[in-house]
Amino acid sequence: MKDPRVRKLAEVLVDYSTRVQPGDVVLISSAGLETLPLVKEIYALCLERGAKYVEYEFNVPDLNRYFYNIASGEQLTYFPEHKLEFMKQVDVYIGLTASDNSMVMAQANQATMIAWSKLVRPIIDQRVKHTRWVITRFPTQAAAQEARMSLDEYEQYLFDACCMDWEEESRKQDALKVLMDAADRVRIKSSDTDLTFSIKGLNGIKCDGRLNIPDGEVFTAPVRESVEGYITYNCPTVYQGKEFNNIRLEFQKGKIVKATSPGMDDALNRILDTDEGARYVGEFAVGVNPRITVPMRNILFDEKIFGSIHFTPGQCYDEADNGNKSAVHWDMVKILTGDGELWFDDQLVQKDGRFVHEALLGLNP
């Protein structure tokens, strides 16, 4: 029996997020085979909307693990030119993930993972800069377990967070963008956190369902060398197949000079030593999705938690370009609900996870 919520999610992805048009070339890329019900709905909708060609591909993360552990030096330096050439033809990219094991890469060779990510970066850059793209998740038993929910509970949580009135949410985000555009200094103050930086001259960007589903954040970037102080993240984060908790970063002149995570210091610092840009921050964002309230160990959701911020070591986005370049882009999330203040210049914008600035009250659930 078809689940009507799957069709609704497909309509959000095809009609709102990527706006598939007659004549488009579409690539549906799935990590995990359990996305098949959603792939079917997306594929049919793209054809109905007049796309001239719809390609679909499935990859299995466990096979990627074999590559990282076995590949020779020659295999790790072979650039898949055919993938880049096809990506240059793509107008719309829809990326899906159905995780059956978030730790599949936990014991994979980290050095080869880093080397491969650097090698194929041009393909990702082509997709990000030259296609109408969106990424989402599909519910699985494993993802539900990570979120500490039953599958039924997780499915409802996911579909509620994804299938919103995104045009209305976009209008609500306007006020936060206006304040962010006008701000110079930002301060985040909470338990074991006192962080200051400038965002002067860097635009605030609304994330209103065009690139991520679920969505719900407004982001910019810090002036690269302006970050001072320290932050402790209270949301678990999974990166390169490893879970990190209570990451604490200390900054001087924008650079991470000390990084710790209980029991994971070495793994954390190896990632931050990937390249020079990995120890600088490429993104600062405020989460505003009213239907995402608890960590799920899934960054596509966790970075949108209402009452959270994320402060991201690594690559910046072109839309808010502070000049930081890196093969790393690691969204680390701090939830301010119940404990935290967010200031723009001398204005208290948010306290304990709820907006208190008069212009932003409409964003509160």
Which residues, in sequence order, are bridge partners of residue 176? Answer: none
Q: What is the Cα–Cα distance from 280 to 324, expressed in whole angstroms?
A: 7
Report whether 154 contacts 318 (CB < 8 A): no
Q: How many CA atoms, within 13 angstroms, populate the side-chain half-sphere of residue 67?
A: 16
Q: What is the overall mean pLDDT for the chain?
A: 95
pLDDT of 11 higher than 90 = yes
Residues 340-362 have a mean pLDDT of 97
Answer yes or no: do 87 and 208 share one domain: no
Residues 6+ apart with CB under 8 A from 165: none
Among 162, 177, 194, residue at a domain's last position: 162
pLDDT at 70: 95
pLDDT at 21: 97
Answer yes or no: do 337 and 258 share one domain: yes
Q: CA-based diameter of the chain, in Å?
A: 59
Answer yes or no: do 172 and 208 share one domain: yes
Report whether 288 contacts 218 (CB < 8 A): yes
- pLDDT tens-digit profile of 172-197? 999 999 999 999 999 999 999 999 99
Answer yes or no: do 156 and 301 share one domain: no
User: How distant, in Å, are the alpha carbons of 123, 141, 172, 253 from that of 342?
Assistant: 37, 36, 19, 21
Q: Is 165 exposed, middle or buried (0-12, 13-18, 19+ CB in 10 A)?
A: exposed
Q: What is the Cα–Cα distance from 305 to 233, expressed in whole angstroms?
A: 13
pLDDT at 101: 81
Among 141, 162, 183, residue at a domain's last position: 162
- Structural domain of 254: 166-363
Question: If we measure between CA atoms, which residue out of 128, 92, 96 comes closest to residue 9?
Answer: 96
Q: How many CA atoms, within 13 angstroms, populate the side-chain half-sphere of residue 23?
A: 0
How much is the pTM?
Answer: 0.84
Across 18-22, 51-55, 236-240, 263-267, least confident range: 236-240
Answer yes or no: do 98 and 215 share one domain: no
Among 104, 135, 162, residue at a domain's last position: 162
Domain containing residue 58: CATH number: 3.40.1830.10
- Terminal Cα distance for the chain, rounded: 34
- In the chain, helix, strand, coil percent, each to 5? 35, 30, 35
Number of domains in the chain: 2
Answer yes or no: do 312 and 244 share one domain: yes
At 337, the amino acid letter reads T
Q: How confident is the model at residue 102 (pLDDT cuts 50, 70, 90)?
A: confident
Residues 102-131 have a mean pLDDT of 90
Q: How confident is the model at residue 106 (pLDDT cuts 50, 70, 90)?
A: confident
pLDDT of 328 higher than 90 = yes
- pLDDT tens-digit profile of 29-41? 999 999 999 999 9
Answer yes or no: do 128 and 48 share one domain: yes
Q: Which residue has the tokens 């377990």?
A: 145
SS3 104: coil
CA dihedral sign, ordered 142, 35, 42, 80: positive
At 249, the amino acid letter reads L
Answer yes or no: do 100 and 140 share one domain: yes
Answer yes or no: do 75 and 98 share one domain: yes
Answer yes or no: do 172 and 154 share one domain: no
Answer yes or no: do 150 and 194 share one domain: no
Q: How many CB atoms lie under 10 A from the CB of residue 266?
A: 8
Answer yes or no: do 75 and 181 share one domain: no
pLDDT of 227 higher than 90 = yes
